[in-house]
Structure 1
């Protein structure tokens, strides 16, 4: 007797997952191409009323790389939210169209400045290491020349006449002290040669500690001083202050975008707010948001940001603007 086989129902199809866009798939260069160049007149108006010192002060509070890493995802998230809004909702978002292109342009400038700054720092560190090696080499040569001269003088003049040499030769605990000791030995040789131009002068020449030795001691002393005194020229293409200033410019623009979205969300809870990752702490501390503050370097939030549509946050005003002059 044949038995009928019952077919098992096919497993239910899983709903398509929303692709998560990571920060590595969005770049400042790509956004700049899509958004186009920043409006120079708008940029001038935006920063006109803000003191440079205020921007620098804000820039010192955050690492440049945090802003550079966050801006691409932040801007892409803001554009994605904008694209989902109805015409009525867009009317609630009081944000000029030129703001996002300007943010991307300023962040791209920050990225270029940081690369230049970091490259200069590496070059300066390498130059400093090389100079330190030269200074150590000059010290070794100076000590070696001093010791050779000392023993030569002892052979030429005898132990009884070395008391004065012992008094003037000094120490080699610093480049300056070593240089002074070398110069004192050179002066002693010249003085000894002049005081007895026949006997002592010839003895000094016999043992290689005559006029040529004195000249070598003087030259070695100059080299010790020169290598010790050379400083790294302050030729960095981008100073730390300039980098902090640019950090402040980028932070100001991020704050303006957040303020516009948060204001719109307070009157329409379905409007999402673009999120930050590493730089979030800097802006959440100043806002009226009651959400848990993400620690610097935390996980990247899911695309869209701002929580689930319909979950309107409590209506709260922002407590402190990012700068005293708020544009």
Structure 2
């Protein structure tokens, strides 16, 4: 018992210092370089990205490490890995194709809980601590596979996914995840099998799983920390005034970025709270909702004389999820009536993932 408690206490004692790291440093989303590759890339780029994401996805790897830790028969390894693979493939493919998403920090927090759960189960915590039999492990691995796949989907949906060839790209990404998983599992099984032959395995196996739980706690706290500081509005998440002003400075920078993105005559951002129209808590912002919120933002901009009145009659040219200003969101493009201007200028309205207005710009001559 003592071998398990000491590492746990040491890791928990280090939590304050580790949490001083920014959430971005602890995140494992698709890197900026990978984003750019995937914007223009085909199925092969998505396959390679899927493999890379799994190989660098420490929370996925930690859970798999816990799953195979005590498995000695090849058939058991295949059975449990198949259940996990089936689970994460279902949600990765279905959620991405259907546009079902959620806050990435919260999903990753649940994934961290899966790491804690597996360490707890490996130390026989259900019987020793709770006095009950553990749930059926195969079904739990499948259930957590669903969550892990949803987490992969949220990361994938942060990209400006193309409409053409989307199914093929998602399937390629999923295949890449499987290939990365096979490579990682092969290394894990070889490592554990070699360690299992040494006397230290029995002495330190419990300590290793207590360490797994401690790392899971660290990941859980870091994801909740990230969620607290990146979601919601200043009032209900206790942002200080400096952070609140920083949000408005970011919007100014967003408009300047629009000019660099070939969007001339950038419009000044109106007051975020005055123009913002947010979706209900937990609601998924679909294309139709994004168009509705953009229309309401245009109404407010016309009322405040930020844009010309003819934009009220503009037709929606496109509306899609895109990465703008280094954050996922919606871009709704409205095309003004031919009668208003033969050049058919376009108005770009940018919304965050909750449907709140961020900024606008339009093409000009």
TM-score range, shorter chain: under 0.3
Larger relative strand fraction: 2
Q: Which has the larger radius of gyration?
A: 1
Relative to the length of structure 2, the TM-score reads 0.25
